[in-house]
A and B are shown apart, each in its own frame.
Chain A
Amino acid sequence: MPATPPLFAFEDVVLHGDGAPRLDHLRLEIPDDGVTVVVGPSGSGKSSLLRLCNRLEVADRGVVRFRGQDVDALDPLLLRRTAGMVLQRPVPFAGTVRDNLLVARPADASDVSLAASLERTGLDPAMLGRVADELSGGELQRMCIARTLLTEPEVLLLDEPTASLDAANVARVEATVRSLVARGLRAVWVTHDHAQAERVGDRVLALAAGGRAVADGAPEQGAGA
Chain B
Amino acid sequence: MTTDIGWVGVATSLVLVAIAVALSVRQGLGLERSMAWASLRAGAQLGAVGVVLAVILDPDTPLAAAWAWAAAMVVVAAVTVRARAPEVPGMLPLALATVGAVTALCLAVVFALGIFPVVPEAIVPLAGMMVGNSMAQTAVAARRVVAELADHRDEVEARLALGLPWPDAARPHVREALRTAMQSQIETTKVVGLVALPGAMTGLILAGVPAGDAVLVQLAIMYLILGAVAISVIVVGVGVVRRLFTADHRLVPLVRR
Contacts and interface: CB of A to CB of B under 8 A. Distances in A.
A151 interface: yes
A12 to B, nearest CB: 21
**Interface of A, helix, strand, loop or mixed by DSSP:** loop
Contacts, number: 55
A105 B164 contact: yes
Interface string A38-67: 000000000000000011111000000000
Interface residues of B, number: 15
B164 A103 contact: yes
Interface residues of A, number: 24
B32 interface: no
Contacts of B248: 55, 58, 76
A165 interface: no
Given A91-B158, A93-B158, A105-B163, 4 more contacts: A55-B248, A85-B161, A87-B158, A103-B162
Contacts of B159: 93, 103
Interface of B: 154-155, 157-165, 172, 248-250
Contacts of A80: 160-163
A147 B162 contact: yes
Given A55-B248, A57-B250, A76-B249, A93 B155 contact: yes
Contacts of B157: 56, 87
A80 B159 CA distance: 10
Contact of B163 (A58, A78, A93, A144): A78
B163 A77 contact: yes
Given A56-B250, A57-B250, A58-B250, A87 B164 contact: no
